[in-house]
Structure formats: C-alpha cells, structure tokens
C-alpha cells in the first residue's frame, strides 16, 4: 500500500499489508494481487485476488480495516478463507473468479461486483468472461459476495437501470 496525492501520483513510501499466507492463496503460485477497496458505513475492506489466475482455485480474499493507520499491517484483519471462490453445481460452473472491481447501481442503492470467471476447471488462462452480480451486506456490516453465478443465468438488473437515460450510457471518445 502507498499513499497517493491523486489517482496517478505516489506521495510516499509503501507498506506490505498482505502476502500469501494461506494454502488457498498459494495454489500453483503464492499470489495476492489486484487489490480493490470497498467502503460502506465508514468501514474499509480491501478485496484482492489470490493464487494463480490460470487455476480453477483463483479466488478473492478480504482484508478488513480494524482501525488506525491504513499503512500499518496490524490495522488489518485477513479473512482465513476466500470470500468468493469457485462454484460447481446443477445450476452451472464458475471457476477461478477474480480480478474484481465494484460499482454502484444507477440509483446508488446497490453495490455490485464485476469480475472474471471461466467455465472450465482446466489449468488455462483462456475462456475467461466478464461477469457482474450484486453484493449484499451482512448484519455485522461485512460484504456478502454469495457465490459466482454461471453464465446464462438471468439476473435482475441493477436498481435504477430501467430508468436511465440512454444518452448517459454513451462512451465518449473525444476526451
């Protein structure tokens, strides 16, 4: 972790706040990568990908800020198990879910995760597709990611999407 003066400028020294300590973070290679911050009600969570992305066991881990200086590794508590990992079942298969980001629904009432997953348990970097689904919140204020949902399963659109002005969805290429 390192302080930033803006989204592209480093403004100080760095600190190692996590490394691949658990077996589930060390499948094929010991990796903690792609950290993304998730905030709600004054709490900070750092969601990261763990293990080799080509394995079916690539998964998401979570650090929870417990207070104090965010640059201090002791200010974080690491989940001992993945918070989002492979799923196989009658409703479909998703392997290697990871490298995530978060966004709010158009009306601002829901949190959503975007990530990649694949439908094969083979060791491969191919066949990953982008997926998104809603994140809910437990009574203790921690995020509940559920399980990755297989492709082809219909999901309810993010809240407020049906009322969006299509002009707001246009991508501008002139800036």
CATH of the domain at 120: 2.115.10.20
Share of the chain above pLDDT 70, in %: 93
Task: Identify whether 65 is part of a domain.
Answer: yes
Task: Identify whether 15 is part of a domain.
Answer: no
Give residue 164's pLDDT: 55
Task: Give the predicted TM-score (pTM) of the model.
Answer: 0.88
Task: Identify whether 151 is part of a domain.
Answer: yes
Q: Which residue has the higher pLDDT, 167 or 33?
A: 33
pLDDT band of residue 44 (cuts 50, 70, 90) is: very high
**The token pair that represents 49 in the structure block:** 């990908």
Q: What is the DSSP string of 57-124?
A: T-EEEEEEE-SS-TTSGGGEEE-SS-SB--EEETTEEEEEEEEEEEEE-TTSS-EEEEEEEES--SS-
- Is residue 175 pLDDT above 60, yes or no? no
31 three-class SS: coil
Q: Tell me which residue range forms the domain holding 30.
A: 21-159
Number of domains in the chain: 1
**The token pair that represents 67 in the structure block:** 């207070």
Give residue 163's pLDDT: 60
């Amino acid at each position: 972790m390192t302080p930033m003066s803006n989204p592209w400028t480093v403004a100080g020294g760095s600190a190692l706040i996590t490394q691949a300590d658990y077996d589930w973070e060390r499948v094929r290679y010991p990796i903690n990568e792609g950290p993304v911050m998730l905030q709600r009600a004054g709490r900070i969570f750092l969601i990261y990908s763990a293990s080799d992305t080509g394995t079916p066991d690539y998964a998401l881990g979570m650090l929870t800020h417990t207070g104090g200086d965010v640059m201090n590794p002791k200010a974080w508590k690491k989940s001992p198990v993945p918070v989002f990992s492979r799923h196989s079942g009658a409703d479909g298969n998703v392997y290697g879910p990871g490298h995530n980001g978060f966004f709010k629904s158009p009306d601002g009432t829901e949190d959503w995760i975007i990530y990649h997953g694949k439908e094969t348990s083979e060791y491969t970097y191919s066949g990953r597709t982008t997926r998104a689904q809603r994140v809910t919140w437990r009574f203790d204020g921690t995020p509940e990611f559920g399980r990755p949902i297989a492709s082809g399963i219909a999901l309810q659109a993010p809240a407020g999407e049906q009322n969006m002005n299509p002009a707001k969805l246009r991508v501008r290429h002139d800036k």
